[in-house]
Amino acid sequence: IHLFFISLGIRSLGIWAVLSFLPLYATDYIGLKPEISAWIISVYFIGVLVGALISTRITDKNQPLVLVLSSTILTTLLLLGITFIIRPILIFLVIGILGSLDGIFFPSLNTWLTFICPVNHQGKIFGILFFVEGVSATIAPTLYGWIADQFSLIWAYRLAAIPLFISFILFLVLHFLESKHEKAYKRELNLVSERG
């Protein structure tokens, strides 16, 4: 579970770096007027809403950790892609897709946590989850703001993809460990049923 929290904290750094500077990015680099660029955050959250609706269909039919992995790697690629797009309509589209991926990520993550955590520890685990998310949300604007000041906002966005990719690798390790544990558990169940 420690690996999970490290993965989530690292992933959240990248996500909050994007969200913190999104209106500024839309105004300064895309050239949108401030009143229009403010809507870009709304587009993200509309995407979250759509993703959450999609997740109600797919989370129960798929392995939640696979959805966590998929949404994390796609988010990484889209984040890199944002820095090469200059057309406003495409930026809004990509931001909406990013929101949708987050709308799939969190329900899948929560479903997976309820599977692996004992019921009497779920409150504590979810509390730690939101604490880790909050710490990342606090650090990201300062860290990536400093990077933007030193280099540029585009480079801050590109570097924000690094923690997302690292978290993908860590979630992949977690998936491998979970699969290994599940196979061992099924083997043990088969041995017990053969004896019985």
SS3 for 151?
coil
Residue 24 has pLDDT above 80, yes or no: yes
Per-residue pLDDT tens digits for 35-74: 889 899 999 999 999 999 999 889 888 889 999 999 999 9
Neighbours of 69 (CB within 10 A): 20
| DSSP 8-state symbol, 152 | -
Per-residue pLDDT tens digits for 92-110: 999 999 999 999 999 999 9
Helix 122-150 × helix 2-28 angle, to 10°: 40
pLDDT given at position 62: 80
Query: What mean pLDDT do residues 10-30 have?
Result: 93
- Of 167, 67, 80, 147, the C-alpha closest to 115 is 67
| Distance separating alpha carbons of residues 14 and 65, to the nearest angstrom | 19
List the CATH number of the domain containing 86.
1.20.1250.20
Q: How many domains does the chain have?
A: 1
Domain that holds residue 156: 2-195
